[in-house]
Chains A and B, each alone.
Chain A
Amino acid sequence: MNKNTNKKASPDLFNLVQRFSVPLMFILICAVCIPLSGLSANMLINEIVTRMGRNAFLILSLLIPIMAGMGLNFGMTLGAMAAEIALIFVSDWQIVGIPGMVLAAFISIPISVLLGIFCGKILNEAKGREMITSYIMSFFINGIYQLVVLYLMGSVIPIKHGSIKLPRGYGIRNTVSLLSMRQKLDNLLAIQIAGVKIPVLTFIIIALLCLFIVWFSKTKLGQDMRAVGQDMEVARDAGINVERTRIISIVMSTVLAGFGMIIYLQNMGNIATYSAHSQIGMFCIAALLVGGASVDRASIGNVFLGVILFHTMFIVAPKAGAAITGDSMIGEYFRVFVSYAVITLALVMYETNKRRAKSAAGQQLQAAQDAEEAAGKEKA
């Protein structure tokens, strides 16, 4: 009996530490690296604010599939690719500034929806391994994206301006300049506080998305998603169309990721046509996990904590690495390693917790059986 109560008390503390182990580890890394990097506080805060405006929308797009129990949506890259195609068109039509961005957002919607439906349908065929499937999906669609952008644009799909085409006459250049849109959204309504530029409008848009997500989780559809995430069979018995709900969650995530990518690229000021989307999924997922999210539970708070901690590490690691070892490459590799290690750790913790819950249920059953058997023996 005594042993039992002990067991009960320690896992709570253990769970708490385990749940926040990744953010704690990151706070430690940042605390060590910031003084070593020699960056001024002003510069650091400026960078973090910029990166928050750049990335927060993208990371928020990951929340809805997690709600629906589909894990981390590595297929958010699909939305990013849709946004890039839309932006290529808009810059070819030479529509500049905010109107260009809005138009790009509208063009990206049908592409994102189509890709999202395709992805959702495939994921419904691969229940229980959504993450690896969505991960491979991002590679598969990347192949199609290259086919479209590198071979069809300019030869089949009309592209007027030579400046974004490859010299051979078809295909898009490696970088497409977005100079006409560069930081247009960030600079509108921007304010300076103590030398830190705050892109107010971008933050307002991010805040609106947060409100939307909070509101959405309370609607009927949002509740359905939660139910599907909890237990698909129970949700189906309750009359929820599980397949449809899952597809909707992926479509929403893809569309939002597309919008997020437009915000991201207007901040960068150019599109790296063939590589801009390739790392986006990994960095967004790592940032979300650093914020204390897990594969089946993530909140808006996780997003913001994650952006701050992850990007602080990202900014200071190369400088700190150079200060310690005299080689800046080590810091570069270190931050890539940390990104992957965090995702690995989070996945391992998720799976072990799932198994522990399962085996705990099994042990309870075993104990009940043993008790019954013992009772039976006593009778005999």
Chain B
Amino acid sequence: MTKDKFKAALKSFGLPRLIIAGFLLLLLIMAPFVGADLPTQISNIINRFSWNGILVLAMVPMVHSGCGLNFGLPLGIISGLLGATLSIELGFTGPLSFLAAILIATPFALVLGALYGWLLNKIKGGEMMIATYVGFSSVSLMCMMWLILPYHSPNMVWGLSGKGLRTTISLEGYYIGALAKIGQINIGAISIPTGTLLFFALLAFAIWAFLHTKTGTAMTAVGSNPAFARAAGINVDKIRMLSVIMSTWLAAIGILVYEQGFGFIQLYMAPFYMALPAVSAILIGGASVNKATIMNVIVGTILFQGIVTMTPTVMNNMIHMDMSEVIRIIASMGMILFALTRKTEAAK
């Protein structure tokens, strides 16, 4: 009886997830023995969590409405990048430029998200593959745009020709640490970016609260059983569109928060593969293709970022071989593969 229960629990938890959690635990235990600086590691994990949390959160609305994992995250990131570059171009500086970036990014995210949602409504059932390629197409289209669009700010364009945006743009003097510096706590080597964490908590709470409103429940209903939802008088297409817009907007905000922590705007091909870490993070946290909670986001981001930060140091100190990149690829892609092979109701 207990054995069956244990087996059932293991099955729902999933073997890959167990391996990944066990691996991280092993890394944490080993860290002090191989001479890795644990406080710095923990500080790194907290910081990286604060950068990436919202990008992972952007998965939640679309998973809830049955649109699957948002492989089209780069589309939202593009809106965020437009907001960031335009805010600098228009002459905003300091923390104010962060607010301006959010305000400017929002209309882009809403319009692009609406178009994206309209497209996904036309192709129900094939969302994930098409989302991937919508993301890729938009990133490569914007590669041309970054060169062509008439940006002039000397801090952003190539010095020699005076036009075309640079690949990486420093945020020094703009919104670097705009959130992280608010109420930052330093205990020894550990520094906690309170502002960023609070901002994440605020958005996470907003999404959680939204999912408990009437519209939010309708969204869950659409995701778990579209036919039933339609019979209950819910406008399925409208709800799906709303979820896609929310995801896109969250991705736009997410990249801005990422940048304020990281300190640089990365353009051109940088957003290309940004969807995959976010997708695998939420899956590692316990989400599936059609089910995700805020808890999955938090646990998943901590586990994923934990592995990303811990593996290089621990591995290097232990066997003098930096295999972290390979381990990260195998772990995260293995997790996505596992999730895609689960039989789910939405897979009809």
Contacts and interface: CB of A to CB of B under 8 A. Distances in A.
B117 to A, nearest CB: 14
Contacts of A348: 119, 122-123, 130
Given A344-B130, A351-B125, A125 B329 contact: no
B341 interface: yes
Interface in A101-136: 122, 125-129, 131-133, 135-136
B329 A337 contact: no
A140 B330 contact: yes
Interface string A127-169: 1110111011101101110110011000000000000000000
B122 A355 contact: yes
Given A125-B341, A129-B128, A333 B143 contact: yes
B134 A344 contact: yes
- Contact residues of B: prevailing secondary structure: helix
Nearest to A72: B129
B319 to A, nearest CB: 10
B90 interface: no
A300 interface: no
Interface in B29-73: 71
Contacts of B143: 333, 336-337
A352 B122 contact: yes
Contacts of A144: 330
A334 interface: yes
Contact of A143 (B134, B137, B333): B333
Interface in B123-138: 123-126, 128-130, 132-134, 136-137
Interface stretch (A41-49, A53-61, A324-332): A324-332
Given A135-B129, A140-B334, A146 B144 contact: no
A128 B125 contact: yes
B164 A336 contact: no
A137 B147 CA distance: 34
B333 A133 contact: no
A333 B144 contact: yes
Contacts of B323: 147, 151
Interface in A340-362: 340-341, 343-344, 347-348, 350-352, 354-355
Contacts of A150: 326
B125 A344 contact: no
A325 B333 contact: no
Interface string A51-78: 0000000000000000000000000000
B184 interface: no
Interface string B210-226: 00000000000000000
Most buried by A among B129, B132, B144, B337: B129
A133 B341 CA distance: 8
A279 B119 CA distance: 26
B329 A143 contact: yes
Given A340-B140, A355-B122, A151 B133 contact: no
Given A133-B341, A355-B123, A330 B333 contact: no
Contacts of A140: 329-330, 333-334, 336-337
Contacts of A355: 122-125
Contacts of A135: 129, 132
B270 to A, nearest CB: 14
Contacts of A329: 147
B136 A340 contact: yes
A330 B337 CA distance: 35
B137 to A, nearest CB: 4
Contact of B130 (A142, A146, A336, A351): A351
B347 interface: yes
A29 B180 CA distance: 48
A329 B148 CA distance: 11
Contacts of A344: 130, 133-134, 136-137
B231 to A, nearest CB: 15
B276 A132 contact: no
B237 to A, nearest CB: 13
B18 interface: no
A114 to B, nearest CB: 17
A143 B321 CA distance: 16
Given A330-B144, A333-B140, A143 B326 contact: yes
A111 to B, nearest CB: 18
B340 A351 contact: no
Interface in A247-272: none
Contacts of B126: 347, 350-351, 354
Most buried by B among A131, A132, A133, A329: A132
B122 A336 contact: no
Contacts of A132: 71, 128-129, 132, 340
B345 interface: no
Contacts of B25: none
Given A333-B143, A347-B129, A351-B126, A133 B337 contact: yes
Nearest to A349: B123
Contacts of A350: 126
Most buried by A among B122, B133, B136: B133
Contacts of A146: 325-326, 329
B330 A330 contact: no
25 contacts: A131-B129, A132-B129, A132-B132, A133-B337, A133-B341, A139-B329, A143-B326, A143-B329, A147-B323, A329-B147, A330-B144, A333-B144, A337-B140, A340-B133, A340-B136, A341-B137, A344-B134, A347-B123, A347-B133, A348-B130, A351-B124, A351-B130, A352-B122, A352-B123, A355-B125
Interface of A: 122, 125-129, 131-133, 135-137, 139-140, 142-144, 146-147, 150-151, 325, 327, 329-330, 333-334, 336-337, 340-341, 343-344, 347-348, 350-352, 354-355
Given A140-B329, A140-B334, A143-B326, 15 more contacts: A129-B129, A132-B71, A136-B336, A146-B329, A147-B330, A151-B323, A325-B148, A330-B148, A333-B144, A337-B144, A341-B140, A343-B133, A347-B126, A347-B133, A348-B130
